[in-house]
Structures are given as C-alpha cells and as structure tokens.
C-alpha cells in the first residue's frame, strides 16, 4: 500500500551558536529517520521533549526543509508540490488551542481562514462549509460569532480541529492535541479525532510524549530518542512486547499521577542529554539500566523481526555485537 506520507532517511541539522568566539555546533534534531504513515492509519510518534518529534512534524508539513533525505506525499517527492498543494493535503492541529487561535478574530473568521488563503471553492459556499464543519466537530453554530476567549479549552481545540479539517485534508498532524487540556476533556477530544478519522477516512500522525494517549488511538507506534527512531511496531505488539529499554521506561511513566507533566517518572536516573553533545555509541546509554560495554562504543543498527524494529544491541545478531 502506498503511504500517505513517508520520510526516507531524513535528517535535519541546525547550527547552534555557542556564544562569542566559540563558533557554532551542529544539532542533529532528526537523524536518518525513515517512517511510513499508511493511508487511513494512525501512526503514533512518541518521545520526550527535545527528541525531534516537532521537527519531524515541521518537515512533514513542508515548513522545514530537511538537510538530507526525502519526503514523499502519496509516493511522490515533496519537491513536486508547492506550499498550497501541501496545505490542501496535510493540516496540523497543535497542542495549545489558546495560542494557536487569533484572539481578535471571530470563530467564523478563524475557521474560514484556510479557504480564504487558498481560495478554495466558491466563496458563496464558504459560510455553509463553516457551519457544516462546526456541526462535524460538535460545536453549536452560534459559536461562529464568538471569540476564542469566550470558549472553553475543549471548545477551542474543537475550533482548531474545524480549521484543520475545512480544507478536507488527507493527513492531519496532531502535535500533542490534548496535553494542554483538562484531563476530563482529553478523552472527549481523542474520541472526536477517532470518530472524524472514521467518518472522513483521515490519516493521522499523532505526536505525543504520552504513550497512554497513543495507545488509545494508534495502529502503529514509533518511539523517538535524540533524533532517531529506536523502536517501531504495530501498537498491539509494542504495548504487549516492548523491547527497547527506553520504550519500557516510557511505558512505566504512563502510570504517573499527572501524565501532563511530561515524562516525570521514567526511573531513567539522569536527565535528557544535551542534543548538541550527544553521547557516543548508543545515545541512550548513560540512562540505560541494561547498558553493556559495547553500548558506549558502538551505535546499534536497526534490527527488524517481522515488522517490529528495534535499534538496540540487546537485539543485534550475536556476530554483530562481537567487538
Ligand atoms: Fe541500552 Fe545498550 Fe540497548 Fe542502548 S544499545 S538501549 S545502552 S542496551
């Protein structure tokens, strides 16, 4: 099956200024990532803040040019699409509905903005489209005349979803879509996203630090650490048989009292490493309870069994770990 979205060995390197007379150092935010997002499926991309998830989202949305590698939309190189084509195919939903909606504009103006920017369809139909999409996301039509400050957090996120869907995109990049919301509202938004996916045949990339959110929705899960995908499998397999020590630590964190705090209780011992100065060998080795001698010397290669990929020396063929 052709993937709706795909990255092939994509890297993104930023030069970070180190201060007066110190020059700059490269920060490899995304490091050789190949990821397929099949049509109609939900792929979860999980990891801590700073692991490269949001840079991946920017690359897929065409907002950030990768340093190397290729992005494919429905099998065609991203280079053959302009910004408008990409916006019609892929739309984002961001974490914070407070800052992603212009407070000075009415909900009608916010939701219809993509139609006006991209001049989609007959302007005489735009009102109807706005009201149809408000119906679809479960908002009363009267909110069209309201302003963001008059709505609750959950209602604002529904507005953000309406704005993303009014272009009828094929793919939606959901970047932490519930982490700024009250716990009581989070499941309503996740259920809405799930219903919309089925009704409209959408494809989602669901970016989250929280495996519990991803477990609720994803067909497939990729776990990212310091710019690399370190484990990838279908969701059932990953939750039943996690292999990479980092995935196991993330799963442990799901049971913390307040998942919105990020990954506060992973028992990883040390803080997230500085991505400008990543550890040698396996970049997870300073935090890994299963670390072996080889881990600080040699970068693990991806090992795939069936369609379960793990990048860890524990799963390498025996001859590959001999030093
Ligand atoms: Fe831990 Fe070594 Fe596997 Fe890295 S390669 S996750 S340090 S066991």
Q: Considering the chain, what is the average pLDDT of its residues?
A: 89
Query: CA distances (Å), 42 to each of 5, 24, 155, 199, in order?
Result: 11, 38, 23, 14
Q: What's residue 305's pLDDT? A: 93
Per DSSP, the three-state class of 233 is strand
Largest CA distance in the chain: 70
Average pLDDT, integer, range 184-200:
93
Which range of 1-5, 9-13, 84-88, 286-290 scores highest in mean pLDDT? It is: 9-13
Q: What's residue 272's pLDDT? A: 73
Q: Give yes or no for residue 290 CB within 6 A of ligand 1.
A: yes
Per DSSP, the three-state class of 17 is strand
297 Cα–ligand 1 center, Å? 11
| 189 pLDDT higher than 90 | yes
Q: Give yes or no for residue 230 CB within 6 A of ligand 1.
A: no
Q: Comparing 45-49, 118-122, 205-209, which segment has the lowest mean pLDDT?
A: 118-122
Q: Which atom of ligand 1 is nearest to the CA of 282?
A: 4
- pLDDT tens for 102-136 read 999 999 999 999 999 888 888 899 999 999 999 99
Protein residue whose Cα sits closest to atom 7 of ligand 1: 285
Q: How many domains does the chain have?
A: 1
Q: Which residue among 292, 309, 320, 323 has the greatest number of ligand 1 atoms within 8 angstroms of its CB, and so is best to mutate?
A: 292
Predicted TM-score of the model (pTM): 0.90
291 Cα–ligand 1 center, Å? 5
Residues of the domain holding 50? 3-322
- Rg of the chain in Å (alpha carbons): 21
Q: Which atom of ligand 1 is nearest to the CA of 295?
A: 2
CATH of the domain at 284: 3.40.50.300
Q: Give yes or no for residue 288 CB within 6 A of ligand 1.
A: yes
Q: Which residue among 247, 249, 290, 309 has the greatest number of ligand 1 atoms within 8 angstroms of its CB, and so is best to mutate?
A: 290
Q: For the range 102-106, what are the long-range contacts, defined as Cβ-Cβ under 8 Å and sequence gap of 24 or more?
A: 102/148, 103/147, 103/148, 103/149, 104/147, 105/147, 105/148, 106/144, 106/145, 106/146, 106/147
7 Cα–ligand 1 center, Å? 25
Q: Give the distance from CA 205 to its chain's centroid.
A: 6
Contact 246, 231 (CB under 8 A): yes
Per DSSP, the three-state class of 168 is coil
Q: Give the distance from CA 48 to its chain's centroid.
A: 11
Q: What's residue 68's pLDDT? A: 97
Cβ neighbourhood burial of 112 (10 Å; 0-12, 13-18, 19+): buried
Average pLDDT, integer, range 20-35:
89
Q: Which atom of ligand 1 is nearest to the CA of 300?
A: 5
- pLDDT tens for 148-170 read 999 999 999 999 999 999 999 99
106 Cα–ligand 1 center, Å? 51
As given in the structure block, the two tokens for residue 104 are: 């000075």
Q: Give yes or no for residue 295 CB within 6 A of ligand 1.
A: yes
């Amino acid at each position: 099956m052709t993937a709706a979205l795909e990255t092939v060995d994509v890297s993104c390197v930023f030069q970070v200024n180190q201060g007066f007379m110190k020059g700059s150092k490269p920060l490899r935010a995304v490091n050789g990532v190949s990821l397929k997002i099949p049509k109609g499926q939900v792929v979860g991309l999980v990891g801590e803040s700073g692991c490269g998830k949001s840079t991946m989202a920017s690359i897929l949305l065409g907002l950030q040019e990768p340093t190397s590698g290729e992005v494919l939309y429905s099998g065609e190189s991203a280079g053959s699409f302009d910004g408008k084509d990409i916006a019609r195919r892929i739309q984002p939903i961001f974490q914070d509905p407070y800052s992603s909606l212009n407070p000075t504009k009415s909900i009608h103006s916010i939701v219809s903005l993509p139609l006006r920017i991209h001049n989609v369809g007959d302007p005489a139909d735009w009102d109807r489209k706005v009201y149809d999409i408000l119906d679809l996301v479960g908002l009363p039509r009267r909110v069209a005349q309201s302003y963001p400050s008059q709505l609750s957090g959950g209602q604002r996120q529904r507005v953000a979803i309406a704005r993303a869907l009014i272009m009828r995109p094929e793919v939606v990049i959901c970047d932490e879509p519930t982490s700024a919301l009250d716990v009581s509202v989070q499941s309503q938004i996740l259920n809405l996203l799930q219903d919309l996916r089925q009704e409209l045949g959408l494809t989602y990339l669901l970016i989250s630090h929280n495996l519990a959110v991803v477990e609720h929705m994803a067909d497939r899960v990729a776990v990212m650490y310091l710019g690399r995908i370190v484990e990838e499998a279908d969701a059932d397999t990953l939750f039943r048989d996690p292999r990479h020590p980092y995935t196991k630590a993330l799963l442990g964190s799901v049971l913390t009292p307040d998942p919105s705090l990020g990954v506060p209780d992973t028992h990883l011992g040390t803080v997230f490493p500085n991505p400008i100065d990543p550890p040698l060998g396996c970049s997870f080795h300073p935090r890994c309870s299963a670390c072996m001698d080889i881990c600080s010397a040699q970068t693990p290669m991806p090992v795939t069994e069936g369609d379960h990929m793990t990048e860890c020396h524990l799963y390498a063929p025996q001859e590959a770990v001999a030093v």
